[in-house]
Structure 1
Amino acid sequence: MSDNDICSSALYKDNASWKDITPIYPTKDEEVAVKIAVTEDFIDAFAYFRAVLIKNEKSERVMALLEDCIRLNPANYTVWQYRRVCLKELSWDLKKEMRYLDDIIQESPKNYQVWHHRRFIVEQMGNSAVADELSFSAEIIHEENKNYHAWQHRQWLVRTFKVPYEQELSFALRMLLIDSRNNSAYNYRYFLLTLYDKTEDQEQMAIEINLAKRFIENMPNNESAWNYLSGLLISHSITSNNDVVSFVEDLYETTPEEKRSPFLLAFIGDMMLEKIEAGAAPEESAERAKNLYKDLQKIDPVRVNYYKHQSLLVQTLLIKSQTKVAAK
């Protein structure tokens, strides 16, 4: 076939413009070691990729070959890494690369390699890319609001480029209003509090605690909201905030026994553990904690072993408390 002939085959081995490259196919030993069912175009494309990798060729045709290899196996680290090498060598249009990545991520939104590659491109583009990246990550999150990679990418953007705190706090709130069970949104909001040193800001923490309480009131079985509330108080103690203690006890008293959330009971159980350790009515607190964990074993059997462990912990803490009192 002459160079001017039109190639009807999609295979590189039949393409005259690649006749200068000798493809490197898997050896028999490789095929025996790891036998994978692959198509002919997969074998063909990766044979040529191996060849250009050894040759260290960086060209537009290699970029096209890499796109084919990514289409055939988007999780291949070596292909993505070599594409980054070629991008820098060829001074490739990074905006064009971002458009290409938009399509890949839409097709494969949970592919670690493509998100890693996108981070590399953003680093090369700098601050000029941040606004578009925030919009893009928001789009992916709206499509699947618990996409770990999209949330991690957004965290990286905020941490790297110092995105305004209030802007991101509003974004996290919008996502929670869409789905108040979205643990990823709570994690992101807490990430913002720690990143911008707001965990000791009493005014901000009061806002966060009130937010968690409102979500719990509306949906008492929302484990994510309970975890967020606990996380906000963890640096001090969950009994350190009288407003929270009153809120939890009121919720307990006003909720019929058969409708009490296991997360409510577990939270109060943790409160009792803290009281025992602090020596605040230890016997009474221990008795209440044991009853709570006994009830939890019935209404939340999935965590029965954990509640049994907590019951043993109650007894251990009580003995320590009594020993301290006796020593005095």
Structure 2
Amino acid sequence: MGVYERDPEWDDVIPLAQDDGEGALAAIAYTDEYAEAMGYLRAIMAAKEYSPRVLALTEHIISLNAAHYTVWLYRASTLFALDYSVEAELEWVNKVALDNQKNYQIWHHRQLLIEHLYAKISSDPAAIQELADSETAFMTRMFAEDSKNYHVWSYRQYLVRKLDLFNQKELESIEVLLRTDVRNNSAWSHRFFVVFSDPKLSTPGCKATEVDPKIPEDIIDREIEFAKAATFETPQNQSPWNYLRGVLRKGGRKLSTQECFAGEFVKIPEDREEDVKSSHALDFLADVWAETGELEKAERALELLGDKYDRIRKNYWDWKKSLLKEASLQEKMSELKTG
């Protein structure tokens, strides 16, 4: 006899068994405990019951299988129907999330909770700030377990948009993570999002890879310096180099404006062996020289990358060299036509 079958509180419910259809080829072998609990939930859902015992039932099922999307959705519907404390639910969800690091359904449920709560506190700045602080504190705990957890970072972007956390405090929080691990590309991506998606300073609908003339020049300058400082710390870290490229593109500035900076990590004299402290700087310079029309220098940089400094991607560097040759050929043909 199962837990629910012998519980008087559930005497009024007749469980519904799962129907896999006739001749099911791959029926899942559920445990008796899970199968019984789901049978009672199916009956509850069919009756459209929203009650405290439903919360207890869904909590039990989630403890057995935290990835069951339907269970989470019905739990949320029950919470809202009962006007249950969102704060109390968040406390419980925190524990479940810490025990299920890679679970997506938890974060969707959390987002539903925030939407519901925000509707009640949207006119109270103090309450919004308190919520932001508590959520940030919890995400910090999650990042201590896995600083690159995709679900947490996705939720963080949602929270920044929802609570308008495009502010210095959010940037400082990300800087703490970058000081811990300057190679955390997730943190770099989030910084880019916070800086360049602020609706007060950016053009609505502008894509991450597009120039945004609305972004103030001083912010572009600040982010360039931030990326350069991180690059000096770890020259062979690709993240700040990518960030630098993104900032320059967003500000409508050419890569060649940072040629001298990249040149501090790469020396290619004609009379002796090159000195390369960062393959990413060499890649950056190859694009700079392609941009300025110095195709021989660009080709030399790409040869060094393919033959010596990044041989595992030799085919990629050879492909980039072929693009240079195509560009050179097109330029010569254009000169002949206009000559």
TM-score (normalised: structure 2): 0.85
Deviations 1:203-257 (A, max 9, x none): 222221112112112211101111111111124254352xx21111122129984
Say if 1:28 and 1:110 are closer, same or farther in 2 by CA, change over 3 A: closer
Residue 239 of structure 1 aligns with an amino acid whose one-letter code is L
Larger mean CA deviation between 195-204 and 160-169 belongs to 195-204
Q: Which residue of 2 aligns with 1:247?
A: 261
Say if 1:268 and 1:24 are closer, same or farther in 2 by CA, change over 3 A: same
Residue 310 of structure 1 aligns with an amino acid whose one-letter code is K
CA distance in 2, matches of 1:115, 1:91: 20
The answer for unaligned runs of 5 or more in structure 2 is: 122-126, 203-211
CA distance in 1, matches of 2:150, 2:234: 24
Larger mean CA deviation between 249-258 and 198-207 belongs to 249-258
Q: Is the 8 A contact 1:230 1:238 kept in 2?
A: no
Residue 46 of structure 1 aligns with an amino acid whose one-letter code is M
Larger mean CA deviation between 302-311 and 101-110 belongs to 302-311
Q: Which residue of 2 aligns with 1:290?
A: 299
Give how far 1:78 is off: 0.7
1:214 partnered with 2:229: yes
Give how far 1:72 is off: 1.3
Cα RMSD, aligned residues only: 2.2
1:308 to 299, 310, 318: 318
Q: Which residue of 2 aligns with 1:327?
A: 337
CA distance in 2, matches of 1:40, 1:30: 21
Q: Is the 8 A contact 2:263 2:281 kept in 1?
A: no
Q: Is the 8 A contact 2:166 2:195 kept in 1?
A: no
Q: Which residue of 2 aligns with 1:280?
A: none
Give how far 1:80 is off: 0.8
Residue 134 of structure 2 aligns with an amino acid whose one-letter code is D
Q: Is the 8 A contact 2:4 2:37 kept in 1?
A: yes
TM-score (normalised: structure 1): 0.87
CA distance in 2, matches of 1:30, 1:63: 33
- The number of equivalent residue pairs is 310
Larger mean CA deviation between 59-68 and 208-217 belongs to 208-217
Q: Residues 58-69 of structure 1: matches in 2 within 5 Å?
A: 58-69=50-61
CA distance in 2, matches of 1:30, 1:56: 27
Higher helix share: 1
2:117 to 111, 119, 125: 125
Residue 274 of structure 1 aligns with an amino acid whose one-letter code is E
1:157 partnered with 2:173: no
Give how far 1:289 is off: 1.9
Deviations 1:62-83 (A, max 9, x none): 1111111111111111111111
CA distance in 1, matches of 2:34, 2:22: 15
Identity over aligned residues, as a percent? 30
CA distance in 2, matches of 1:162, 1:219: 32
Give how far 1:273 is off: 2.0
Give how far 1:266 is off: 1.1
CA distance in 1, matches of 2:5, 2:171: 54
Deviations 1:261-320 (A, max 9, x none): 2212111111122123xxxxxxxx222222222221233233222212101110111122
Q: Residues 1-328 of structure 1: matches in 2 within 5 Å?
A: 11-27=3-19, 29=21, 32-126=24-118, 127=121, 128=127, 129-196=131-198, 197=201, 200-235=215-250, 236-241=252-257, 244-253=258-267, 257=274, 259-276=276-293, 285-298=294-307, 299-328=309-338
Give how far 1:258 is off: 6.2
Structure 2 residue matching 1:11: 3-state secondary structure: coil
Q: Is the 8 A contact 1:42 1:72 kept in 2?
A: yes
CA distance in 2, matches of 1:105, 1:262: 39
Residue 245 of structure 1 aligns with an amino acid whose one-letter code is E
The answer for unaligned runs of 5 or more in structure 1 is: 1-8, 277-284
